[in-house]
């Protein structure tokens, strides 16, 4: 059976919270002035109370509100598909499955947490959300979600992606959001960056700073984040919970789970419900691999220390793998992976040896994406291409070793708005 579907009434009713099962203590975020752990009061100006509670909750399962479940049913449960044609092309004994999140209205997994965050903000009387976006998947997802719940949406989009991906901008506007290029002239920090570097390509760290400044300048606005923080990763676990149920229908279980990695929400979403089994000892040999870009390798090359989540130093200090808050990645097309740090949860799991990480270069990822598109028909987002590259490598390893393994990866979004990225890849390939 190449495609495994769940019915609407099999949609998860709870998120899985990995904080309940960690065998180590997660280092808390710190107030940058006092170096003391931040409390609810420190976060209440930028987040609604329910999300603050979820950030620190140790409950293993957290209810998904009925209103959020209803919104999810627009596109969830998403399909789990076996890549049989890719398996045949690779001549591998491995079974390769992918969870396809490109079926969401905005075309990526980001919609899962966007809907939840918009709902909780609306419930607490918030009128407007401000955010950043890299390649535009998060910005378009939040704009869609804000439209569902009657909120205004302000998006600061990293300049290089703002120019590379005009249709993502238009998508944000179609859903009713407002989007500007970051660094922008709308904030003090944006103007400062432009004065010092007029041709700055921007970065997620800069865009986060602008969105936070926007939030703090208005009483009707809260901040929404598309990755990194615990509550964001929590919402994404609907992906892995569904995948687990789908594989159970087949009597199968993954040996290897792979997700592309920028801030960490995609990898966490597909892997955390399975990592619960590794943490409790029932699946000790399970491997989870983060595939990040060689040009922005936070897990494989970053330092594990406290750092700011943004460039201006407005966020709490987070214990994470980081390339430095002032790091500006090269303008690669996988804009959703161009972040200087990694989620505290994925950073800690990596440091404690529960997950692995690899860092393919951009052309290797695009080569894998094209191979996947020609065998399976879906053109993947440049971010997802990194997961595909690693899945292919693992499948080839199975062929060489003569071992049959089950490989699961998260195809976190489609590449329909990323065709310029493919054009640039083909141009480089034809020149070489």
Q: Residue 335 has what pLDDT?
A: 52
CB atoms within 10 A of CB 22: 17
Q: Which residues pair with 132 in a beta bridge?
A: 156
Token pair of 171 as six digits: 């998508």
Sign of CA dihedral 416, 385, 421, 112: positive
Q: Residue 336 has what pLDDT?
A: 64
Check if the beta carbon of residue 152 is closer than 8 Å to that of residue 124.
no
Q: What Cα–Cα distance (Å) separates residue 229 from each residue in 86, 106, 345, 432?
A: 34, 21, 8, 41
pLDDT in tens, 167-207: 999 999 999 999 999 999 999 999 999 999 999 999 888 99
Check if the beta carbon of residue 83 is closer than 8 Å to that of residue 97.
yes
Taking the domains of the chain in order of start, what are their residue ranges?
A: 3-8+76-107+237-431, 14-63+110-223
| Cα–Cα distance measured from residue 321 to residue 128, given in angstroms and rounded to the nearest whole number | 31
| Cα–Cα distance measured from residue 398 to residue 280, given in angstroms and rounded to the nearest whole number | 27
Residues of the chain with pLDDT under 50: none
CATH class belonging to 14-63+110-223: alpha beta
The residues, ordered by sequence, that sit 6+ positions from 366 with a Cβ below 8 Å of its Cβ are: 382, 385, 421, 422, 425
Token pair of 319 as six digits: 């214990």
Q: If we measure between CA atoms, which residue out of 142, 126, 144, 125 comes closest to residue 134?
A: 142
What is the third-level CATH fold of 3-8+76-107+237-431? Rossmann fold (3.40.50)
Check if the beta carbon of residue 407 is closer than 8 Å to that of residue 97.
yes
Q: Residue 295 has what pLDDT?
A: 84
CA within 13 Å, CB half, 252: 20
Check if the beta carbon of residue 332 is closer than 8 Å to that of residue 362.
yes
CB atoms within 10 A of CB 11: 18
Token pair of 415 as six digits: 């590449």
Would you say the CATH fold of 14-63+110-223 matches that of 3-8+76-107+237-431? yes
Decide: helix, strand or coil at residue 219. coil
């Amino acid at each position: 059976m190449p495609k495994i579907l769940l019915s609407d009434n099999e949609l998860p009713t709870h998120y899985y919270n990995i904080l309940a099962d960690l065998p180590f203590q997660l280092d808390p975020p710190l107030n940058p002035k006092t170096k003391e752990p931040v409390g609810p009061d420190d976060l209440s100006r930028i987040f609604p109370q329910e999300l603050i509670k979820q950030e620190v909750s140790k409950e293993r399962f957290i209810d998904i509100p009925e209103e959020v479940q209803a919104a999810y049913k627009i596109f969830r449960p998403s399909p789990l598909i076996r890549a049989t044609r890719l398996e045949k092309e690779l001549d591998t004994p491995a079974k390769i499955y992918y969870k396809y999140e490109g079926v969401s209205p905005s075309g990526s997994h980001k919609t899962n947490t966007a809907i939840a965050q918009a709902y909780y903000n609306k419930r607490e009387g918030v009128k407007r959300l401000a955010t950043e976006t890299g390649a535009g998947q998060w910005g378009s997802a939040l704009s869609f979600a804000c439209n569902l719940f009657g909120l205004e949406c302000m998006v600061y989009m990293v300049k290089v992606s703002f120019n590379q991906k005009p249709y993502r901008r238009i998508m944000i506007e179609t859903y009713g959001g407002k989007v500007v290029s970051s660094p922008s002239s709308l904030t003090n920090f944006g103007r400062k960056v432009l004065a010092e570097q007029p041709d700055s390509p921007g970065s997620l760290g800069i865009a986060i700073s602008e969105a936070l400044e926007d939030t703090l300048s208005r009483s009707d606005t809260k901040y929404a984040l598309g990755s990194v923080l615990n509550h964001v990763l929590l919402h994404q676990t609907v992906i892995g919970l569904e995948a687990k149920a789908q594989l159970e229908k087949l009597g199968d279980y993954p040996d290897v789970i792979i997700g592309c990695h920028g801030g960490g929400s995609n990898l966490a979403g597909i892997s955390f419900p399975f990592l619960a089994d590794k943490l409790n000892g029932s699946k000790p040999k399970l491997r989870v691999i983060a595939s990040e870009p060689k040009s922005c390798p936070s897990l494989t090359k970053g330092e594990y220390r406290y750092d700011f989540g943004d460039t201006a130093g407005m966020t709490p200090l987070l214990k994470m793998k980081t390339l430095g808050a002032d790091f500006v990645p090269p303008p690669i097309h996988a804009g959703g992976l161009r972040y200087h740090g990694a989620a505290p949860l994925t950073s800690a799991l990596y440091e404690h040896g529960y997950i692995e990480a690899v860092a393919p270069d951009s052309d290797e990822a695009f080569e894998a994406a094209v191979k996947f598109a020609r065998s399976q028909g879906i053109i993947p987002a440049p971010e997802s291409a990194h997961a595909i590259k690693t899945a292919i490598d693992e499948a080839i390893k199975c062929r060489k070793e003569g071992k049959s393994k089950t490989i699961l990866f998260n195809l976190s979004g489609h590449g329909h708005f990323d065709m310029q990225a493919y054009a640039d890849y083909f141009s480089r390939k034809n020149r070489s």
